[in-house]
Structure 1
């Protein structure tokens, strides 16, 4: 088996990396590029734009030989990448370079190599008489909360598509991964009352209110760490919760009137997400009510910024065995990062995560992917196409 990717795949990956699709910016040039590729093969793409029209999801179906679109396999990936701000790169991040058996560039690992391989195989898919369809799904804003994928999956199901399996091509080293935790991101805005720091009874310290909430998050995290539930398939086998940002105060001699903190919790499938969110909301309410008794202007507001469901596909699900047959490496492990897999799973589409590269290389300066991983992904997609061929 060759460890060198085909030049066609490398060229598609280079083209994708050249599109600066940092989440804060538009992904439309990349999406329009894919639309043109599909149109050249006689395949119509459906776009699902965001509210501003500056970004869009895309899905397209290569139907079965009889024209049917029932069933089939989804190949899913996100088009956005994380920023390069403040990172020291050895080469231009949006101009892919091959050095020492690796391809470097922002998104090379996460996850434009997977998408590039799939795009390089579109002509083969179009030319193959398929027993069941192959669906392409590309989303925006995965890196900031899977916002695009939620609308994408909804649009696909609303269109009557009922795939019987999905492969999300996030970097797993081509291991077939059945599970990851959910991710919930929450902002807490704490309102105090400003006063001169020499007159503390006249004010309500919003940072102190925030510190009280931070202690509660740490308490909840300790409960999960000590009492579970547990799943030893994860590197961290319990639900985690952590406050990762706090903003507040204007001067050292002024009691702060405002404080904002943002935290996340990453939950195992056995954890009740709604109940956990409500527990945090109740504590925010308690702190706010106590502050309001001191001054009517004080209070606390909790906002859920993002909630991405986890996935825990059964080991005996058909997509798990098929992904292994296509060349994915069987694995009982689960990954620590989130993907759109949970959204497909929640829509009734059994899903695995399996793609080239290792997550340790994602998001970092000089992001790279080993060339043999791209070649392994090519073999995977080729076997998938052949498996779905009419016999």
Structure 2
């Protein structure tokens, strides 16, 4: 087995589903890196049940390159796997296991590249950043970036290794996830006008979200680089009611906005909040003064839009051998790196067509191609003048 395949087998063996700890994987990576003399910094969550890892190869006295990946994976519950999800299985040139594509394949290649990166003096440092809880809102990486923002040298480039089949991606949409709680007043359904039906008023709010989403499709607001080329709004979860003969006093729904990088998803939330305050709530409180509508943010991350003429774009084109820049529909931690001034691109092995699905896999060919890309990065850093 190649080094990257062997390391991928180890990484898949750790169940790092977001609801679980990632510390076993982080400790494995720490011991591996420190075995090559690479010091590691661990940044824990408040409960010390999860951690980010940040390590630097070379001298940290100038801007460098960040190789970044998240360690958590999505659940396998309810999925019809034909292979053990937390054991690497090779079949017909494909490597199966939860996280093989999203995105332990990339992390395995990065770790496998450490010896070659250290084989000769580096003209600039290489940073390895491993995060937790990306799959539940890009939560863990934020404390890592807070630490990184205090350092004297801002990295020149960050490569997020999400699965793009090693195509260079310069952009993705941002996301805002919100919850709305509608509190009405219960009564017997025979006297429905005396109550405040929380489900019906929540439905009015959801309908307004549909109108807002329709307005976002206006041609003037579209960006043809993205698919779909406009910002989207959708309600994904709703609950409420106790019984058919009781006017429901409570209804909750969750909605999300996936916004083009040039648009602020919070503007959608603000529009809905104004509609709730000015239109829906007065009708509710006219029947019962204690009626209320509350909004809360569940998660958010910014979009990414790296200039195709930037140094970052030129570098990733050189490393992956293509300047066919594109965008992706899914989100990454890239917008958060970009927000603190680190130019960011997305490029990694495998395809998101396999991510989050049963029998997730990365092909051996893609893993080998990622090894080759990282070898080109090593060659560049060994030959580039300091």
TM-score range for the pair, normalised by the shorter chain length: over 0.9
Unmatched 5+ residue regions in structure 2? Answer: none
Distance 1:264 1:55 in 2: 26
Partner Cα separation in structure 1 for residue 47 and residue 110 of structure 2: 28
Work out whether 1:244 is the aligned partner of 2:236: yes
Find the aligned partners of 1:227 and 1:327 in 2 and give their Cα distance: 34
Q: Does 1:327 align with 2:307?
A: no
The CA distance in 2 between the partners of 1:258 and 1:328, in whole Å, is 55
Aligned partner of 2:215 in structure 1 is 223
Structure-to-structure mapping, 1:336-351, within 5 angstroms: 336-351=329-344
| CA contact 2:168–2:320 (8 Å) conserved in 1 | no
5+ unaligned residues in a row in structure 1: which ranges?
1-5
1:72-221 paired onto structure 2 within 5 Å = 72-221=64-213
**Counterpart position of 1:41:** 36
Residue 283 of structure 1: how far off its partner (Å): 2.4
- Once the two structures are TM-superposed, the CA of residue 42 in structure 1 deviates from its matched residue by 1.6
RMSD: 1.4
Moved more, 159-168 or 106-115: 159-168
Moved more, 212-221 or 44-53: 44-53
Measured after TM superposition, the shift of residue 227 of structure 1 is 4.2
SS at structure 1 position matched to 2:296: strand
Number of corresponding residues: 383
Q: Quick one: which of 283, 287, 290 aligns to 1:294?
A: 287
For residues 283 and 15 of structure 1, the distance between their equivalents in structure 2, rounded to whole angstroms, comes to: 52
**Superimposed CA distance per residue, residues 358-388 of structure 1 (whole angstroms, 9 cap, x where no aligned partner):** 1111000111111111111000011001101
1:272 Cα deviation after fit: 2.9
Tell me: CA distance 1:58–1:328, structure 2 relative to 1, closer, same or farther (3 Å). farther
1:216 & 1:279 partners in 2: Cα distance?
9
- Picking from 328, 349, 368, the partner of 1:375 is 368
Instruction: Compute the TM-score of the two structures, normalised by the length of structure 1.
Output: 0.95
Does residue 53 of the first structure (1) align with residue 53 of the second (2)? no
- Alpha-carbon deviations, 1:117-172, whole Å to 9, x = none? 00111122233310000000111111110011222212111233410111000000
Could you tell me how far apart the structure 1 residues matched to 2:112 and 2:195 are? 63
Q: Is the 8 A contact 2:210 2:233 kept in 1?
A: yes
How far apart are the structure 2 equivalents of 1:216 and 1:146? 28
Moved more, 225-234 or 248-257: 225-234
Distance 1:194 1:381, change over 3 A: same
SS at match of 1:113: helix
Q: CA shift at 1:239, angstroms? A: 0.5
User: In the TM superposition, what is the alpha-carbon distance from 1:292 to its structure 2 partner?
Assistant: 2.3
TM superposition shift of 1:228: 4.4
CA contact (8 A) 1:174 1:328 kept: no
Sort the Cα spacing of 1:252 and 1:51 in 2 relative to 1 into closer, same or farther, 3 A. Answer: same
Asked if 2 retains the 8 angstrom alpha-carbon contact of 1:228 and 1:239, the reply is no
TM-fit CA distance, 1:74? 0.4
Please, which moves more after superposition, 316-325 or 170-179?
Answer: 316-325
- How do 1:348-367 and structure 2 match up within 5 A? 348-367=341-360
